[in-house]
Structure formats: C-alpha cells, structure tokens
Amino acid sequence: MQSAFSLSFSQSSLTLPNRPLSSPNAAPRNLRFCGLRREAFGFSPPKQLNSCRFQVKNRRIEVSAAAGGNGAPSNKSFDYDLVIIGAGVGGHGAALHAVEKGLKTAIIEGDVVGGTCVNRGCVPSKALLAVSGRMRELQNEHHMKSFGLQVSAAGYDRQGVADHASNLATKIRNNLTNSMKALGVDILTGFGSVLGPQKVKYGKDNVITAKDIIIATGSVPFVPKGIEVDGKTVITSDHALKLESVPDWIAIVGSGYIGLEFSDVYTALGSEVVTFIEALDQLMPGFDPEISKLAQRVLINPRKIDYHTGVFASKITPAKDGRPVMIELIDAKTKEHKDTLEVDAALIATGRAPFTNGLGLENINVATQRGFIPVDERMRVIDGNGKLVPNLYCIGDANGKLMLAHAASAQGISVVEQVTGRDHVLNHLSIPAACFTHPEISMVGLTEPQAREKAEKEGFKVSIAKTSFKANTKALAENEGEGLAKMIYRPDNGEILGVHIFGLHAADLIHEASNAIALGTRIQDIKLAVHAHPTLSEVVDELFKAAKAGYFSTPYLELISTLAKATVAGKLYYEKYRLELSVSDQTDEAVSHQTDEAVFVTFDTEILNRQTFELLKLHILWSAH
C-alpha cells in the first residue's frame, strides 16, 4: 500500500495576511514541513514556475507488534528480515523497533542479554552511585544541620551494596529479555559471525540468512600495555562493579567518566586516598574546560583525592606476597621515569576497546581500523576497498562513532528506519552524555573550544550564555546551589551549538537542550517555553532566556529556501550560486546572499511578512537569467 503527502502552492494562495511577524496570530514559528526531513520528499518538476509539489512516495504502513507479531519474513528467500549480532542496549533497541515495523527479527547473544551496559557498566554503576550519594549526604554534618536534621554515624554493609548492584543488573537483564520475547523476537544463543553476504553463523554450526544484518557486539575494557590485571588488586570496571573490597588507597588510571564515577564511590564508602593518574596535562580532558575547572574544585579538591597529570602508568604489578601494587610513572612526552607509587589497588579506567574479533569480517573483505568497524553516516559497513557492503550495518561501540549505550540504541533505530524504506541520518551532536557524580555533569553538542574552531572555519560568531544553580529556588531548597549551566550558540540565527551543565540532576536537565538540537529548534523559539516553578528545569529556562539571538526565528526563511530548491529555476540557482538564507542580527532583515557574486537582494520586514512567496517567485525568475 502507498500513502502520499502533497503540498502545493498556487499564485492565488501565496499572499500572507498583513500582520507583523511578532503578532500572536502569526503563522507558527516552528513550521518545518511537518517535521519531515528534506530527504524524505521526492521532488517532481512543476509544470509552471509559480507552483511546486512535494510528494512522499512508497511509505510503509506501520503495523504494531501486538497486531503483527514476528511472523514470516517479507522475502521468502531469507530466514529473517533482520538479524542482529549482539543483544546489548543497541541490539535490543534495534530489535524492538524492527518488530514494530513488521520485520521478522532474530537477535544473537553469545554471553548474556543486556551487554556491557546492563551487566558490567551503566546499570550496576548507577546502583553503587546511588549508595555513594546517600552516604555522602549523611556524612555531611553541616549539610544535615542546615535542614535541622541530626544524624548519628552512617555506615554501610559492603556485601549489601554489592548485592544491590547485582540484583539491579539481573532485574534489568530479565526485563530486556522478556520484552523481546513478548514481541516475538527470536533470541538465538551462541557466538555470532558473518559467513558471507546476508548469511550468519551462530553457536557451533547453525547458519541462518537475513535480508539485512546489524553488528552490535559492543566493547570491552581497554588495558594498556605493561599493565597486569589480576582481578583482585589490579582491576577494570568489570571487577570494580562487584565491589569485593573498598581499598584504603586506590589509584585510578584515567580521569574520564569511569574514573570520576568510581572516585565518587570509593571516597564516599571510606577509601582514605584516591590517586588519579592522567596522561594529559589536565584532569577531565573530555569535558568543556570551564565545566571541568568547576568540577575539579567541587569533586576533587575538597575530597581525599590527589593526582598526577602528564604521566603514563608504564607498568603496574599486582600485589603479591605482602607487597603492595607497584605503579611506575613516566613522563607522557619525554618518556622519562617520574615516580613509583605503592598502593593497595589500581583501577584501570582508560576507556574501552571494540569487541570485533572473530566476527568473520574477512569473509566480506572488511578490515577494522584500530579495532573499529568502519561505517558511513548511515551505519553502513565499508569494506577494504572503500565500498559499502550491501545489507550490512554496524552500530554502537563496535563502530566507535560515540561509545554510549543510548547512542547505540539510537543508531540501531536509525538503521531499522533505513531498511524499512525511510532514509534517516542520526545527528550525533544531538546525543547527550552524563557523568553521575555528586553533583552530576552533563553535556550535548560542542565544547566552547570546538565551537570556536568551527566558527573560525565557517565564518560565524559564537556567543556564550550562563546561569547559576545559586539563582534556582529548588536547588536552594535542597541546599545544592553549587552548579553552572552554560550554552554555546550562534547569535546570528539562534542555533544551539552545545550545552554543558554541572549541578544537581544535571543528567536529567540536559535533555531539553539535546532535543532542541535534534529538532533544530532555535533559541528565539525555545526561550518562549514555560517551565513549572519552582523546579530545577528553570536552570535551563534561564539559560535560554539569557541568550541574545536575532529578533526573528528562521522557519520562514527555511521555508523560502526549501521552496526555492524545489523548483526547476530554484535548483539551478542553488547549484550555480549556493544560495544561503540568514537573519541579520543588526538590521532585523532577511538577507539573501550570493556567495559567488557580489549581488544581494534584501527583503524588508513588512514585505517578508505580506509578500514572501510573490517575492520568492520574482527572485527565482530574476536569478535564473
């Protein structure tokens, strides 16, 4: 079956009402062609220049999983429409969306459902951090007294804390398994590999075929050379989550997300000293520098934490025969010996490595790059000759684009959209990230240095807006006023380039900004949104309101731009002159620039409002000559 959406404009229907753009009854500013991507429209050349037509072709009618189940494959020559190798968060998200789209789906898991995130990562670590947060609050006598509370000495049962983390992982793992079974996803047990085009092997000698295949095998902890892991005194995050001990002195190699979160856990649960070992010249190198500086002042300096920066741990030897863990440090640049540490334990938090060995990639001429499977922006696998491998995709940590569980899930959903006929490209700059320390850190988009580098290359200005948690009523009621929200944006058109938050529940607050980036919402629009009072969400509200962007939002101009491209003359004009439409912050005028010739046409405010489309047609006619 087919469904079509068409949008036509004629000479008589192009005149807009004579009212200012700021009128409450003006056309909605968030008009973006019903949210459809430009690539979703099939353009058909109009018979007349003053008319254009858009049509969505060959759209699949979606059938809910409850109605359709996981029935026969759409193509009888395959066992399945889709086979997913790896049942982590990414594979699970892809499987559920595939069944929703009516695909007969199987998922292969060689270990346990849930992958790293559920069993050895995000989920159990949050259980430990929930305990550390409560312990930290109960141990803060000044904080308790500020509420008028008196608390005797707080304690904890280490095994009880470990059981809480383990039980949570088990519960979530069972939930994921049951959700797939309920929808009819076939869960196949055994190590999966690619035998050839559209053919997969799992277990000992089971072979199945599928129209499309997704590799979603995730990652494992990365351990640098020279480090000996025994799982007891020299450990990775996999071991640390079992909380078999709380060492008096533990060294943490790496000060990224994993290292920061475990420093929060160990200091709250009683470790006397935590020592960071960081190869770069500053701690928390992946964060926005301003946020990193504030986080260090709050999360590191007042706690029992010291650090060494600009050094490598060239050799780490586990504790043996009454001797402590030995750590040899060398200068990251000169490689000269700097120091030797003797500690009770060492946690290796140097990131993660893709799990891509043994996948049969040689059968399809695919070579990994530093272990990662090369893919394009649509997650399609690229072979050794730079060509796309038909019907094969890779999502999540295995492709290295963004090593986050929710990014893997988003990539999986994006792939399913593509294999069911709807082109979709995921905007990775809209995917948020969070570090669940106390207080939390969250971010989306570009850091300030990244944004300024981009602005210099592309020729636009960058502005910064900030707001403090100290001005938020809810944060003050919680006695948690320590925090900062920061937004990097373009003042000329209101585009949000990045948002960074440090403070109470920062991980929850970031999503309004990430959704704004994903949907292309400009500051001029989102600053008019209403937030409940008193809530922490007002931190983000004040951040948007603090920004100074151009008076006009851009949907009208984007509409003109898209319409111009949709006509024959408009397409020719764009190909020849690369037309750009923007808003002038100084004059409040919509200005159309020709970048190849020193010619421009200005639409003043009144004309833009009343006669936009008529002028558009005249402009296209003029520019086509």
Report the catalytic residues.
533
| CA–CA dist 8, 477 (Å, integer) | 54
Using N-to-C axis directions, what is the helix angle for 158-183 and 122-139, rounded to 10°? Answer: 140
The amino acid at residue 428 is H
Residues 6+ positions from 315 with CB-CB distance below 8 Å = 226, 227, 326, 327, 328
C-beta atoms surrounding 42 within 10 Å: 12
| CA–CA dist 489, 523 (Å, integer) | 9
C-beta atoms surrounding 536 within 10 Å: 23
What is the per-residue burial (b if ≥16 Cβ within 10 Å, else e) of 156-173? Answer: beeeebbebbbebbbebb
Q: What residues form DSSP beta bridges with 346?
A: 234, 251
3-class DSSP assignment, residue 512: helix
Contact indicator for 320, 478 with CB cutoff of 8 Å = no
| CA–CA dist 29, 12 (Å, integer) | 23
Q: Which class for 27: exposed (0-12), middle (13-18), buried (19 or more C-beta within 10 A)?
A: middle
What is the 3-state secondary structure of 340-362? Answer: EEEECEEEECCCEEECCCCCCHH
Contact indicator for 239, 104 with CB cutoff of 8 Å = no
Give just the sign of the alpha carbon dihedral 173, 175, 181, 185.
Answer: negative
Token duo for residue 105: 């789906």
**Beta strand 311-317 pairing with 325-331:** antiparallel
